[in-house]
Amino acid sequence: MKCYITLVLPMVLLAALSGCSALSSSGPKFAMNAQPFADGSKSIVYVYRLTNGRWVGRVDMTVDGKKFVEIGDSEYSWCRVSPGDHIFRAEWGLMDKPMFEEGHFDAKTLNVKIESNKIYFLCYSIRENSNPTTMLESSGLLGKALSKSHVTSVEFLSEEEALGLHNIRTCGYRESSMTK
């Protein structure tokens, strides 16, 4: 039995570490001098996700129904968008969506009127109350099912440039399918 544990434990640790690296951001932290510039006809729209690091999984971001990035915790991405009215949507994939959260993680949409040659910041954030996570909650799916949610709100909103620049600076880059 001891030999079995000695063989299985390293494999479990390796699998766990592999999962963590798969969810890490794909690029460097945000730096304004390394970002694209809006040109005369299109604007730059940044999307980013802020949470406390507890919400594993990625949120699918779309513009007018076209998927452009799967964004993880503390990640950002960007795309060029033509002027006009656009619908941005943030939606958890079926396998990534947190369970037992009272509808907080339902899809969020944001209508944005884009003007030419501007920069926009769209933030997807998960807000929780300040109560500590109990042992029961951290014990797995059953504990999560029996616990009360700590989530107070999940928001997808447009932010002023100064606040957006402040918030996005800690996020790592995730490449978008619309920037390739």
Q: Are strands 66-71 and 75-81 parallel, antiparallel or unpaired?
A: unpaired
- pLDDT reported for residue 11: 44
Answer yes or no: are the C-beta atoms of 158 and 114 closer than 8 Å: no
Amino acid at 26: S
CA-only gyration radius of the chain, Å: 19
Tens of pLDDT along the chain (180 residues)?
555 455 444 444 444 444 444 444 457 788 766 787 777 789 999 999 987 667 778 999 999 999 999 999 899 999 999 999 999 999 998 888 777 677 888 999 999 999 999 999 999 998 888 887 777 776 666 666 666 677 888 899 999 999 999 999 989 999 887 765
Torsion over CA of 153, 157, 163 and 164, rounded to 10 degrees?
A: 120
Residue ranges per domain, the chain? 26-173
Answer yes or no: are the C-beta atoms of 22 and 71 closer than 8 Å: no
Domain 26-173 has CATH 2.60.40.10: yes
84-92 β-sheet, strand order: 66-71, 59-63, 84-92, 108-114
Q: What 3-state DSSP class applies to 93?
A: coil
Answer yes or no: are the C-beta atoms of 124 and 46 closer than 8 Å: no
Q: What φ, ψ does residue 164 adopt, rounded to 5°?
A: -60, -45
Q: What pTM was computed for the model?
A: 0.76
